[in-house]
Structures are given as structure tokens and as C-alpha cells.
Amino acid sequence: MRRQQIKITLRQNLTVATCAAALLLAGCANDNRLSSSNADPVVTGSVAPQMSIRETAEAANAWREKPQSVRRAVVYARLLNAGGNRNGVIKVLETTLTHNPADAKLVAYLGKELVLAGRAKAGIEQLNKAIAAGENNWKVYSALGSAYDQTGQHGKARAAYKSALLQQPQKVSIHNNIGMSYILEGNLRQAETSLRAAQKLPEGEFNQTLRQNLALSVGLQGRFNEASEIASRDLPPEQVEQNLAFLKRMLNQKNTWQQMKTAG
């Protein structure tokens, strides 16, 4: 296998390992609430308290009476989001956007929801529209970066994150996203450098997500003892041991660590 092919294979293996390991390190779980159901959005999603159900029903009726109302759409969408029904949110926003195609804030809102729902390509289209229309705050750029990372366009992702940093240079979440972008690309040394630099920011030292991603970047380089020390600041020993054992299995599955040293 040629050197370039090795690098591509490495990045693919690392993407799988990174996504799976990141779920363990962050203690996340798959969100089963994001279904593709076409049912009425008011009755789908997680069960909410009775008051929230009534409020959501009232907001739904108000929106259906006037679907062109951005205010009513946003109220309804937020209640649906609180109930975990992101597909319902997207349906509402898309409908109201047909009546208000020039509303940049609404376009940006839809773009961010599409990205969170895993529909990155559609999200990229909407977010770029919003930016072109003047809705170019740091949250929009950060969401755009996340969408580009989801589609493997890591260079474009970091360009978007850097645009966000121009507005919020001390924002730890943006720096963290840049580090994760480098991890997904397979550039582990740069990922570690970026994440360690982010730790020096005013809020960086106390950010658990940032620290666990640093542990991930170190562990993916095979420095498991060091990764364990970093992760142990936030996680119990048994979870750290479980996470690192999983990471080792992922790295050894397709000889990823040897490929890293060869492709370097």
C-alpha cells in the first residue's frame, strides 16, 4: 500500500475509533428521539410534563392558524425542542421559511437544527445562506464548522471555527471543536497541541469536555498511561480503565498504531 493510501486508511480508522471512544469518554448515548417519523410533530418525541404538553398543543394550534408567523414558529419550535422532537422542529421551521425566505435568523436556526439532527449537507446549505444574508455570529460559524467536520471537510471546518474565534477568541467550545477536527482528520499531534493551548484559556482548565478530548488525543497516539492520568481528573478509575481498554482494542483492530508510526 502506498504512503498516501496508508494515511487515508489511517484517517478512516481513526474516525471510527474517535467517534466511538468520544461517546465513552463523554458518557454520551445515542439520541433515539431523532426519528424520521412524518407524524404530527405535536404528538411525537419524548414524554413531557402535562403542562408542557398543553403548552405545546396551544403553540401548535397558534402556529397552524398562522404558519407564516416567525414568532409563533419559534415559540412552537422551542417547545418541541424541549420535548426532544428535533424532526418536528425542522418541519415547523421549513414550513415557516417558505413564507419568509429572506429571514436570515430563521435560516440560521434551521441550519443549526439540521446539523444537530445529523443532516450536515442540508445544514451547510442553510448556514451559508444565513451568513451570506448577514447572520454571521459566532454560533452560526461554529455550527457550520461542525457540519463540515461531519462531512469530512476538515479544512473548511477549521476555517469556519476561526471565523467564530474572530468574534469570541476566548471561547473554549470553539477551541475544543478545532481540536476535535484535527483528531477526526488524523492529525493527532496538532490536535493535542490545540487542546493543550485551549486549556490555558481562562475557562479551559475547568472544562471537563476539553480535558477528556485531550485524553482522547493522547490515547490515540498510544500514550495510554498519560491519557489515563488526564482522564482520571474527571472520571472514576473503573470508567477510565474501561475507556482505555476500548480504545486499545479499536487501535489494535486494524493495526492503526503501526500505521500511524509508518505514515507519520
Q: What is the mean pLDDT of residues 39-63?
A: 66
Assessment of whether the complete model's pTM goes beyond 0.85: no
**Confidence class for position 254, pLDDT limits 50, 70, 90:** low
Q: What is the mean pLDDT of residues 25-42?
A: 34
pLDDT digits (tens, 9 = 90+) for 148-169: 999 999 999 999 999 999 999 9
- More confident call, 32 vs 82: 82
Confidence (pLDDT) at 3: 39
Contacts of 145 (CB under 8 A, 6+ apart): 156, 157, 158, 159, 160, 161, 164, 177, 181
Task: List Cα–Cα distances, 203 to 29, 66, 109, 181, 197, in angstroms.
Answer: 26, 44, 27, 20, 12
pLDDT digits (tens, 9 = 90+) for 198-221: 999 989 989 999 999 999 999 999
DSSP 169: T
Confidence (pLDDT) at 23: 40
Which domains are present in the chain?
A: 1-31+165-264 (1.25.40)
pLDDT digits (tens, 9 = 90+) for 177-195: 999 999 999 999 999 999 9
Q: What is the mean pLDDT of residues 35-59?
A: 56
Q: Is 16's pLDDT higher than 90? A: no
Confidence (pLDDT) at 251: 77
CA distance 108 to 128: 8
